[in-house]
Structure formats: structure tokens, C-alpha cells
Amino acid sequence: MFCNKMLELQRVYRQASLLALITIYYNLLEGAVSVWFGAGDETISLFGFGIDSFVEVISGVGIWHMVRRLGRGETADRDPFERQALRITGGAFYLLTAGLIATASASLFQGHQPQTTRWGIVISLISIVSMQALIHFKTKVGTALNSPAILADAACTRTCLRLSVVLLAASLGFQLTGIGSLDAVGSLIIAVLSFWEGREAFEKARGLGCGCSCGCTTSTKSDH
């Protein structure tokens, strides 16, 4: 019975590791596509969304590393690799925030309009569906393992979902109204969310809060 339970735990931890890897590779693809079309269509919100996805990859690597350690029965306390990944993530989010605010402000001042935001609509809809699926499976795995750290990662994915909703609103708003400032406003909201993610990342690096840059306050101590 004990051996069966241990085998089941290892199976679920492998699922958690796979979900972390899917998150990493999805964000790499999403970031590349978003930056490409955001730059080509001069869509600030889509470009900023893409850069945010790249930053999320750094955090995702830290989560994947953590899940692998938990699967080996190690403590959920962060090791130097995870803390350094969180510091890099936090710094990158702060740089992204400053860049988005400067670019969006200049866009508003100049009355700039994107060429189109159709790709922003397409990418945000795909992202919303993908993030919902990842949240569902991460929550299921975290609950099965009784692991606050993995549940905290699911909460982080909800932040990505909020970013997708902001991008969709800004992109759809421009397509329907032609008001160019909506793209810049969407970029500013993404900047605010990025700032919060950066602050949370530094708090996690100092040993506060939950397992990644997500704005939640769950402890990372696992009961498994």
C-alpha cells in the first residue's frame, strides 16, 4: 500500500513538472509571436504582452526547478537558484514597467495609432483558453499533492490570464472604435500588472509570500 502511494505521488509530481515545462515553452512561443506582430503592427500593448511572456519564462524555470525538488522529497524552501531566478524576474519586470510607461506616454502625447490590433485579439483569445486549461490542471495537481507551492503557481497563471484579458479589451476596443489611445491605455495597465509581479518576485526572493510572482500570499511549505 505504501509503495503504491509513493508511486502515485511520483506520477502526479511528473504531471506537475510537465505542466511547468508546458508553461515555459508556451510563454516562449507566445512571447516570440506577440513581439513579432506587436512590432510589425506598431501595437504597444501586444509588444509589451510578448515581453512579459518572456519574463514569465524565467519565473517558470524557477517553478520547474522547485517542482523537481519537491518530487524528490526535498523541502519547499527556496534554494539559491530559485532565489536568483526570482531576483532576475523582479528586475526584468521593473525594466518592462518603465519601458511600457515611457512608450505608452509618448504614444498618447503623439496620438499614435497601431496599424491593426487583429493579432492582439487572436493571441489574447488563444492565451485565455490556454491559461484557463493550465489553471485547471495545476490546481488539480496541487490539490492532489496538497502542495501550497504548486497551488501558488496556479495562482500565478491567473495573473497571465488577467494580462490576456487586458490585451483582448485593448485590441478589441481599437478594432471596434478606431481610438488609438486604447492601445496605449492597455499598455499602461499591463505595465501596472508587471510592476506588481516584479514586487512580488522580490518578496518571494526574500522568503515572503507564495511560490512565484503572482500577487498571492499563500505559504510555500508543502505538507507532502
206 CB contacts (<8 Å, ≥6 apart)?
none
**Strand intervals (E) in 3-81:** none
Average pLDDT across the chain, whole number: 84
Q: Is the pTM of this model over 0.95?
A: no
**Which portions of the chain are predicted below pLDDT 70?**
1-6, 75-78, 208-224
| 7 secondary structure, DSSP code | H
**Which of these, 49, 58, 67, lies nearest to 90 by C-alpha position?**
58
User: b vs e for 133-167, b when ≥16 Cβ sit within 10 Å of the residue's Cβ?
Assistant: ebbebbbbbbebbebbbbbbbbbbbbbbbebbebb
Q: What is the pLDDT of residue 172?
A: 94
Helices 148-177 and 181-205, axial angle in degrees (round to 10)? 170
Q: Are 62 and 82 in contact (CB under 8 A)?
A: yes
As given in the structure block, the three cell numbers for residue 167 are 490585451
Angle at which helices 80-110 and 44-71 pack, to 10 degrees? 170
Q: What is the pLDDT of residue 35?
A: 95
pLDDT at residue 131, as a whole number: 94
Buried b / exposed e over 20-38, threshold 16 CB at 10 Å, is: bebbbebbeebbebbbebb
pLDDT at 223: 40
> For residue 9, what pLDDT is reported?
74
- pLDDT at 160 (0 to 100): 87
Write down the residue that cell numbers 488609438 correspond to: 180
Tens digit of pLDDT for each residue in 140-195?
A: 988 888 877 777 778 778 888 999 999 999 999 999 998 989 999 999 999 999 99
- Range list of β-strands (E), 75-143: none
Model pLDDT, residue 59 = 80
